[in-house]
Amino acid sequence: MENNDIVILELDRPRQLRLGHKVLKRYLAKTGLKMKQFDESVQDYENLCCLIYEMLHEEDPNLTPEACDDLLDMVPISEIYLKGAEAIKVGFGNQDETESEEKAKNPTKVQ
């Protein structure tokens, strides 16, 4: 089975970023945030790095937060933002498709 919900971040080796159920639950528990605060929370760099750590930790349970910081230092900050945003987008699926499907079901609904 092909995993289309995985984003590869090139660090010391190709590392997998996958926003799944367990990762999301750990992130929300660790930050104390509610799901409705998720979109806004990941715009904060520290929160985004926390989420990326949780995704990397899912693949490598021996990874510590300090080791994660060392790994993330290997790439430009712009790469961290881009790959983090991509992992979030594929984790939640294509929002544009969902909106299009909703509009097709309710074409007269005012946006």
pLDDT, one tens digit per residue, over 25-63 is 999 999 999 999 999 999 999 999 999 999 999 999 999
| Domain count within the chain | 1
Is 62 contained in some domain? yes
The pLDDT confidence band at residue 103, using thresholds 50, 70 and 90, is: very low
Q: Per the confidence metrics, is the pTM higher than 0.85?
A: no
Residue 92 CA to residue 101 CA, distance in Å, equals 15
Q: Which two tokens stand for residue 42?
A: 């990941």
Angstrom distance (rounded) from CA 9 to CA 13: 8
Q: Which of 47-56, 73-82, 100-109 has the lowest mean pLDDT?
A: 100-109
Residue 110 lies in a domain: no
Q: Looking at the domain assignment, is residue 111 inside a domain? A: no
**Angle at 24 (CA atoms; ends 23, 28), nearest 5 degrees:** 120
Band of the pLDDT at 4, cuts 50, 70, 90? confident
Could you give the CA distance from residue 85 to residue 103 in angstroms, rounded to a whole number? 25
- Does residue 65 register a pLDDT over 70? yes
The answer as to whether 56 is a domain residue is: yes
Give the domain extent around 47: 7-105
